[in-house]
Every structure is written in structure tokens, then in C-alpha cells.
Structure 1
Amino acid sequence: MPIKIPIELPAFKVLSGENIFVMNDKRANTQDIRPLKIAILNLMPKKILAENQLLRHLSNTPLQVEIKLIQTKTYVSHNTPIEHLDKFYSYFDEIKEEKFDGLIITGAPVERMEFEDIAYWRELTEIMEWSNTNVFSTLHICWGSQAALYYHYKIPKYELNKKIFGVFSHWVNYENADLTRGLDDEFYAPHSRHTEVKKEDIEKFDDLEILSESKEAGVFIVATKDRRKIFFMGHLEYDRNTLKEEFIRDKEKGMEIDIPKNYFVDNDINSIPKFTWRGSANIIFGNWLNYCVYQNTPYNLNEIS
């Protein structure tokens, strides 16, 4: 089944070109099925790129998915055309009376700042509080996970001595856990962050489970036992070239940055990066939509509480 997005959204053309089944409103309205309503709070500076990455994975499912894109009102992105934001994005005030099967809160390049110093922190906390009663399952990514763990559990983040940057090996802690079902014993995922949350802080809370870890990258996937909140510490949604583009960007700014680990063939930055996490990303995003959302969310969204 397809993902339902406006035909004018850039992702429609991109995903169609990859033979991914996308559907516009006109065709979706002829199908006698309730699509999953998924909201995306996009905090990434390059919003179109983030849209393409997330929608690519959300489309890899037999379920019909309807997307609502959300932006913050207290901070306006300077890296996305205002025309795009006006046409495709809503503010929280415009959708807060609605209920959603799922919500994704992306990462953001603000991890070295104190949470309370971020321009949109108060707005973000309002959205996270709203998600407790208006969203069945919320997926947080990278800094979005750190922010949510801090808000909901007062779990702090810690600055690293050196940025975790590259593609790292992970293992699954519970073989039959719904969110990680189908993964190999060893699987890969990208990380790009200067901060971390610590395992011992998470283990203080009985309702949190650490589902996946990495020797080099630490805690990776955390979830509440009821799967109403999911936390990814890395970036499974990244494309093949995302880490390469981040590396080139930082080098051009004169920043001290290492070559991303386990990424370029023989560490040759002119080579085509190895895309070793695509299958794992498809499995995990698909599991979230199926087991954590579709199999458990009420058919009548008004019953979410």
C-alpha cells in the first residue's frame, strides 16, 4: 500500500522515481480504508531532505499512511524556502485538536545547547505533553530522543569528548521484541552527535527498555514497554550520502572533523559510501508502523488517551 502525500510535495516526484508507491488525495479517497495518520515535527534545517528520507521509509509498508508536516512557530527555518513551508506545513496550533496514530519528532543541530536555551523549547515541550494524550505512538530521533527523555524522565544528556560520527555495529537485546523483530544478530546504523544519554540513567526507569546497543555508539534504541514512546539515538533515516555531505560541510567550515567511521571504502572520501543500514532501517520503521502503531491504535482516533 502507498503513502499518501500531496502530488506537489517534492518527495512525491523523488519517491515515484524510485518506484515507491505514492498516492495523491484524489486516488486515496476512492479506497475504503482508514489510513494511518502520522504527523512529523520536522526540526531539521534542510526540511525537504528530511522529508524525503522519512517518507521513503514510511512508504515501505502495506499500510496506507497519511502525513501531516509540522513546523515550529517560535523558530523559522532559514534553509527551506518559505513558499514550501507555507504550502505544506502546519503550526501546532492548527492541529492540536486532532489525534494521530503516530508522531515523529526529528533531530536538530542544537545538541550542544542546554535544552531550556533553545528558542522553541517551550513550544516543543507543549507538543511532547500533547503527544501523551493525542498520539498513540511517538518516535523520537537523535536529539529529539534526548529532548524527550529529558522532558518526560529528567534523563540528562552528556557531552562527549569526541563526536560519534559514522556507521556502527549494533546488537539486539531481546530477540523477539516487536520493534527489532527480523533484524540480524549484527546490524548497522549511522550516528552523528556530540552528546549521549547513559545506560545507567535509563535503567532507573522500570517502564523503559533498552532494545539495542552498540559497543562504540552506546545505547541505540529505547522504548517504553507499551511502545507509546520510541527513542532512536542515531539516524536510521539517513541516505547513502548524508554523512558524506555533513563531513564536507564541516570541513569547508574549517571545523575539526574525522572521516566518518566504517563508511567510505578504504576511507577514500572520493569513493561511493557503503550503504549498510538500508535494510535495517526498512525493518525497524516497518515494525514501528505495524506492531507499535497499526496493531494497537484504536480504529476511532478519538479513543486515544
Structure 2
Amino acid sequence: MPIKLPSSSLPAFDVLSREGVSVMSADQAAVQDIRPLRIALLNLMPKKIQTENQFARLIGATPLQIELSLIRMSEHRTKTTAAEHMAEFYQPFQDVKDQKFDGLIITGAPIEHLPFNDVTYWDELREVMDWTQSNVHSTFGVCWGGMAMINYFHGVKKHLLDDKLFGCYRHCNLDETSPYLRGFSDDCVIPVSRWTEMRQDEIDAADGLKTLLGSEESGPCLVEDDAHRALYIFNHFEYDSTSLKDEYDRDVAAGVAINVPVNYYPNDDPTQKPLNRWRSHAHQLYGNWINKIYQTTPFDMEQIGA
């Protein structure tokens, strides 16, 4: 089944169509006698369109019909995406908070150096996280979004690093029986790009958390929070093949001190074309998440969160 995007004029519609991902318009979706899964993307990243493409690509690759909604923080205004794009495709959270969703993705944000309470939209994001418990069947917090959720619900702190964790790090499968890791190898490579970390001993000390993927070099990665019907991932399965290259080239051009991303370029040579070694596991994880939602979400959406 295809993914139903907010509009056929959304840039992701053409991008995914060219990649062979099955997409459909609202008119096409209306003639199918099934209930699509309603998945919302709370997009906190500055490059909105790139992030839309990345997550739509992953959640649109399953056999199920997905209806994607794009959400923004109500008062925060992005400076890096055209106002026309935001007005046409995004709804402020305050306009959708009476709705129910089968799934919600909360993205990362380039504000990890700030204490949570200093983030301008922290109060509304706290409202969003409370709202997930009554209006969302399953929530996926990504990078800073995951750090915010695990901090809010469990008090687990993020810690600043002396050096940026930057590159592709090998992670161990810590629970091969987890439905979220069905089909996973014993280890996998995941892109990492962050200045902060969550610590495994503090996650272990919190009630009800289970680490599913972790790395000796980059620490815990994927954490299940069953009580809050949530997953937290601190790294970037959704990244494009060139995402780390784009970050590296940006910093080099700006004269910012940055290490070559580890285990990314062949022979760690930035003149070479980077290799994507995470694509299959990225599709596996998000496909497993969508499947778990499909297996457990109520058919009557009014029962979500009951």
C-alpha cells in the first residue's frame, strides 16, 4: 500500500515517486475501503523538506496505507524553510491536539547544547509529550526528540561531550526477540551526529526502560519505554547517504573545527564517495514500528489512549 502525503505538491511526492516509493493523492486514498494508519511528524529540524523526505521514505515502504500529517510548534517560526511551504503543508500543534494519531515521530533539533528549560518552545513540547499519552498510540522520539522525551518522562539527563560524536558507529543488537528488531543482524552500522550523550547506567536506573541497540563507542542508541508506548533513538537511521558529508562540508567551508566522520568514507578519505551501510536496517526498524502499530492500535481511533 502507498503512503498518503498531505498534498501531491509536497516536494516529497515527486522525490519518493522517482525512488519507486508508492505514494498516492487524497482522491486516490478516498476510494480505498480501509482505515489508513495516521502518522504525524512533528518536524523540529531546520531543513524541513529534507527531513520530510527522509521519514516519509521510511514509513512509506511498508505494505500498509499511511496517512502522513506534518506538525509544527505553534509559536516557533523557522528561518530556513519558506513560509509558503510551512503555511501550505504544516499544521500548528494547537490546531491538531483534539485529533488522534496511530503514531507520532518527534524529530531532532540542533539545540542540544541548551538546557531543556531554555528551549523557547519547551512548554509546548511538554504539552505535546503529555498529549501523546491520551491521543497517540505509539511515539518515536529521534535524537534530541528522544532525549527530550526520556528526560521528561524519566528524568534521564543528557550530558555534553568534549568532542562531537560524528560518523558511522557499529551497534549491537541487545534484544533479538524484540518485535522492533525483527530481521536485524547481530550488529549494524548507524550514523551518529551529536554533541551530547545519554548514559546507560542512568537509563538502567530508571524504571521501565529497555535498551535495544547500543554501542561501546557511542553508547545507548535505541530505548523502549513500554509504559509510555514510546521508542527513543539517539542516532540517525533516517539520514540520507550524504547527510554526514553535507554536515562535514558545511563546517569545513565555515572554518569550524570538525573531524572527518569515522567509518563513513572509504579509507576515511573525504574525497571518496561515502557508502550507505545503514539503509536496510533503517527500513527494517521503521517497518517493524509501523507493523507493531498496525497489530496493536484500536480500529476505532477514539479508543486510542483510553
SS of residue in 1 equivalent to 2:205? coil
Query: Is 1:129 aligned with 2:130?
Result: yes
Query: Is 1:33 aligned with 2:34?
Result: yes
Partner of 2:296: 296
User: For 1:222 and 1:262, how far apart are their aligned partners in 2?
Assistant: 24
> Mean alpha-carbon deviation: is it higher for 225-234 or for 107-116?
225-234
The runs of at least 4 aligned residues of structure 1 exceeding 2 Å deviation read none
Report the Cα offset of residue 252 of structure 1: 1.8
1:12-31 matches, within 5 Å, as: 12-31=13-32
Partner of 2:201: 200
Partner of 2:233: 232
Partner of 2:44: 43
**CA RMSD between the two structures:** 0.9
Partner of 2:175: 174
SS of residue in 1 equivalent to 2:296? coil
Amino acid at match of 1:236: F
Unmatched segments (≥5 aa) in structure 1: none
**Contact 2:210–2:225 under 8 Å retained in 1:** yes
**Contact 2:156–2:206 under 8 Å retained in 1:** no
Unmatched segments (≥5 aa) in structure 2: none
Report the Cα offset of residue 249 of structure 1: 1.1
Report the Cα offset of residue 238 of structure 1: 0.2
Partner of 1:62: 63
Report the Cα offset of residue 270 of structure 1: 2.1
Q: Spell out, residue by residue over 1:183-230, the C-alpha distance to the aligned partner (whole angstroms, 9 max, x if none).
A: 111211101000011111111223111011011111010011357110
Identical residues among aligned pairs (%): 43
**Contact 2:112–2:144 under 8 Å retained in 1:** yes
Amino acid at match of 1:30: V
Partner of 2:84: 83
**Contact 1:74–1:119 under 8 Å retained in 2:** no
Q: Spell out, residue by residue over 1:35-65, the C-alpha distance to the aligned partner (whole angstroms, 9 max, x if none).
A: 0000110000000000000000011100000
TM-score normalized by the length of structure 1: 0.98
Amino acid at match of 1:187: C
User: For 2:136 and 2:271, how far apart are their aligned partners in 1?
Assistant: 43
Partner of 2:224: 223
Report the Cα offset of residue 271 of structure 1: 1.4
Amino acid at match of 2:8: I
**Contact 1:166–1:262 under 8 Å retained in 2:** yes
> Mean alpha-carbon deviation: is it higher for 220-229 or for 140-149?
220-229
Amino acid at match of 2:30: N
User: For 2:56 and 2:89, how far apart are their aligned partners in 1?
Assistant: 14
User: For 2:113 and 2:84, how far apart are their aligned partners in 1?
Assistant: 30
Partner of 2:274: 273
Amino acid at match of 2:297: T
TM-score normalized by the length of structure 2: 0.98
SS of residue in 2 equivalent to 1:77? coil
SS of residue in 1 equivalent to 2:27? helix
User: For 1:206 and 1:128, how far apart are their aligned partners in 2?
Assistant: 18
SS of residue in 1 equivalent to 2:180? coil
User: For 1:177 and 1:73, how far apart are their aligned partners in 2?
Assistant: 36
**Contact 1:4–1:23 under 8 Å retained in 2:** yes
**Contact 2:133–2:228 under 8 Å retained in 1:** no
User: For 1:78 and 1:139, how far apart are their aligned partners in 2?
Assistant: 25
SS of residue in 2 equivalent to 1:269? coil
User: For 2:260 and 2:298, how far apart are their aligned partners in 1?
Assistant: 46
